[in-house]
A and B are shown apart, each in its own frame.
Chain A
Amino acid sequence: MQQLPFDTVLIANRGEIAARIIKTLRKLGLRSAIAYHEIDARTPAVSMADLAIQITGSTPIASYLDTGQIIAAADQARAGALHPGYGLLSENAEFARAVTDAGIAFIGPLPDTIELMGDKIRARNFVQSNGFPVAICVTEEDDPATFASRAQAMGAPLLVKPSAGGGGKGMRIVRDLNTLEAAIEQARSEAGRYFGDARLYAERYLEYPRHIEVQVLGDCLGNLVHLFERECSVQRRFQKIIEEAPSPALSQEVRARICDTAIRIARAANYRNAGTVEFIVSGDDFYFLEMNTRLQVEHPVTEMITGLDLVAEQIYAAAGRELAFSQSDIVSNGHAIELRLYAEAPERGYVPTTGKVLLLEYPNDVRIDSGIMQGQHITPAFDPMLAKIIVHSPSRMESALRAHRAVRELVLLGCETNADLLARIVSDEAFLGGHFHVGYLEQNPHLAAGNFAAGMSAFLASAALLTRPVRDSADAVPELHSALGNWRN
C-alpha cells in the first residue's frame, strides 16, 4: 500500500481517546506525539506516546484549548497530521483552519464543514432547507428581543440549548413556563463560559424519545458510506452512559431509512472523514438533532460490529486516500455494548467524585479503552469519564451478560465510580427487553439508588477483620474463646 504523506501525528487531546489513538498510530507504524498539561503527566496516553510535549495554561482545560501552543507542539514534533480526538478543539473550525494553514493535515472534515455542522442552529437550518425532518424550534438570533416569548408560545416542556458545543452542556429542560427566563439566563451563562458563544435556541422537548445516531465515513473524493447506527438512549443529564450497536428498536425498514438519510445529509454537507448524524427517534419517525464532525466517544461499538478501525480510516481519509470499500462491503456482525465508567456517585444524584486510584484491575477478555492508571489522581478538572468497557458477542443478550460480568470484575479502589449502576442497568429487565428511551434512568430511580443493604455483612466482616483494633479487642478475651470452644465439644 502507498505510504502515508506523514510519519508523525500530534494528538491534541487527553485521557482514554488519546491512548486509543496512539494504539492505532502504532499499528500503522506512525510516530505519536502528544501535547499535555502537567496534571496529566501520569496518564496512560502521556506514557505511551513516542513524544510528549508539555503545554501550560491558567487552568488545565485552558492549555488544551490553546491553539498557538498546540500548533507549536506539532511543529516541534515535526508532525504532518493532527488528531483532535473529541471535545476540546475537535469541532472548532478556527482551530482546524489554523492547523491546515500551518501545513499540517487536520484529521477531520474540512473547516467549512465544521463551521456549517458544528453550529447547531446553522446545521439545523441547513438540514431543513435540504428537505430533511428537524424538530420544531425557535432561535434567539432570529430576533433576540422576542426569543423568550416565541419559546413560550411553543408551550412546555421546552429544552433550552446553546447553539455551540455539545455534550449536554448548558442544556435546560423547562416544564414550568414561569421558570423559562431563569433557564435562559443560566443556559446563556454556561454556554458563554464553555463555548465562548452564548447564543441559544429552544425546542419542544419530547419526554420519551430514543437517541439514535448513524456513523458516516467519507474520503476526499466524495465517496461516503454509513457504518450503521448506534443506540445511545441510556443517558443521565443528556450524557450517554451506555451505547450499543445495532439498536434493538429499529426495524430493518427504519434502519435502512435512517442510515440513508444520514448519508444524504452528509453528502449535502460535502462531508469528509468520520462523522456522526444524530437523530431523535419516536416510533417509526425520526428527525435530525445535530451532526458531530469528529470521532465519537462511542465509536468502538461500531468498530466491533463492522471490524473496521475508525481512527485508521480517519487517518487514511486525511492522507487523501480513497475509501477501500463500498457500502455493500460493510456488514454488521453480532452485537456490541459500551459501558462508560464515570467518576461519579449515581446514588447521590450523580455528583462527581474524586480520589486517587489505589488499585486498578481490568477484566481480561473484553476491550477496555482506559484513560487512567493506578496511582493517578482523579481531579474535577475534566469530564468525569475514566474508561470504557466494550464487549462484542453474537447476540444482544450474550453481550449484556458479558458486559455485566466485565463491569463486576473491574476493580477500581480509591475513587467512587458508577460501576454498580452500570451493572444494574445491563441486568435490568427493561434494558434487556430493549424497552427504554432517554428518560429511562429518570423514570427508574431505583437503578441509580441501588440496594444499599445488599451484601453489607460481607463488607462489614471484611472491614472488621482487616482493622487491627477490632481484631485486637476480640483476641483480648481468651477466656470466652476457650469457654465457647469447650462448649462446642
Chain B
Amino acid sequence: MYHSFEVDGVDHTLWLSASRHGYRLHLRDEVIAPVAFTQRSESSGILTIAGQSEPVRFVIEGELIHLHIRGTTRTLRYIDPLRSHAAGNNGACPLVARAPMPGMVVAIAVSPGDSVSAGTALMMIESMKLETIIRSPQDGIVERIHVKENENFEHDAALVTLSKEGF
C-alpha cells in the first residue's frame, strides 16, 4: 500500500515491504534495502539504511514528524490516505485570505459587508521588519475579519473570509 509524506510542499510517495532484515523502502524510482530503525530513547534512535547507521533525533507531533539527521533538520507530514480523500477542494467554499507568514496586523482597511475587487487592499501586516499589504484574491464581499489590529498571527492563519458577490 502506498503512503505519502509531504516535505516543504512536495509530496513523496513510498511504501515499505517486509524483508528478512527489517524492511525494504520503495521510493518512486528506487528501492533501498534493508532499512531499519532502532529506538534508543524517547527522541533518539539509529536508522540503518543501505548498510549505514545514522543517529536520528526525532519528535512526533500528531501527523508531523520532526527529524534531525546528519546535521540537517526537516519536518515531514504524514498524509493520512483517508483524510486526504475527504478534503477534496470544493469550489463553493468561501474564499479565505491567509497569512503568507507569521506577523502582526498593522491596519485593517475593510469591514464586514464591504464589496471588494481582486487586488483591493484588505489589511496591512508586518512581519519582523517589513510591511506587506494583503490583497483580495478575487471579487467578493468581506464576510468576516478574523484578526484585530495589533494582533499576532501564525503562518497560514485565516485573516479575512470573502464570499462571492451576488450568487
Contact = CB atoms under 8 A, between A and B. Distances in A.
Contact of A465 (B19, B47, B126): B47
B114 interface: no
B60 A466 contact: yes
B34 to A, nearest CB: 10
Interface string B16-56: 11111001010100101001110000010101010000101
Contacts, number: 187
A457 interface: yes
A412 B73 contact: yes
A237 B37 contact: no
B131 interface: yes
A477 interface: yes
A463 B5 contact: yes
Contact of A455 (B27, B70, B128): B70
A480 B127 CA distance: 53
Interface stretch (B85-93, B101-109, B115-123, B135-143): B101-109
A328 interface: no
Interface in B59-88: 59-61, 65-76, 78, 80
A416 B75 CA distance: 8
Given A168-B129, A454-B72, A458-B70, 16 more contacts: A190-B129, A190-B130, A352-B128, A359-B68, A380-B104, A384-B128, A408-B72, A413-B66, A413-B75, A455-B72, A459-B69, A459-B74, A474-B18, A478-B18, A480-B18, A484-B20
Contacts of A457: 25, 27, 30, 32, 49
- Chain A interface size, as a band, is 35 or more
A456 interface: yes
A179 interface: no
B72 A420 contact: yes
Contacts of A169: 129
A193 B130 CA distance: 11
A377 to B, nearest CB: 10
Contact of A380 (B61, B66, B106, B152): B152
Nearest to A419: B73
Interface in A346-401: 347, 351-354, 358-359, 361, 379-381, 383-384
B72 A485 contact: no
A470 interface: yes
Contact of B12 (A170, A460, A462): A460
A462 B59 contact: no
B165 to A, nearest CB: 30
Contact of A463 (B49, B65, B102, B126): B65
Nearest to B152: A380
Interface of B: 1, 3, 5, 7-8, 10, 12, 14-20, 23, 25, 27, 30, 32, 35-37, 43, 45, 47, 49, 54, 56-61, 65-76, 78, 80, 100-104, 106, 126-131, 150, 152-155
A467 interface: yes
A481 B20 CA distance: 7
B16 A471 contact: yes
Nearest to B129: A169
A59 B104 CA distance: 11
Interface of A: 58-59, 167-170, 186, 189-190, 193, 237, 347, 351-354, 358-359, 361, 379-381, 383-384, 407-409, 411-414, 416-417, 419-420, 423, 452, 454-467, 469-471, 473-475, 477-478, 480-481, 484-485, 488
Report whether over half of chain B's contact residues are helix, strand or loop; otherwise say mixed. strand
A480 B15 CA distance: 14
Contact of B25 (A193, A409, A464, A481): A464
A473 B16 contact: yes
B101 A351 contact: yes
A417 B73 contact: yes
A471 B36 CA distance: 11
Contacts of B19: 481, 484-485
Contacts of B131: 186, 189-190
A485 B76 contact: no
A64 to B, nearest CB: 15
A473 B36 contact: no
A456 B72 CA distance: 10
B49 A380 contact: no
A222 B120 CA distance: 59
Contacts of A470: 3, 14-16, 78
A384 B103 CA distance: 11
26 contacts: A58-B150, A59-B150, A193-B126, A351-B102, A358-B59, A358-B61, A359-B57, A381-B152, A407-B71, A408-B72, A411-B73, A414-B59, A420-B72, A420-B73, A423-B71, A457-B49, A458-B54, A461-B25, A462-B58, A465-B47, A466-B60, A469-B3, A470-B16, A481-B19, A481-B20, A484-B17
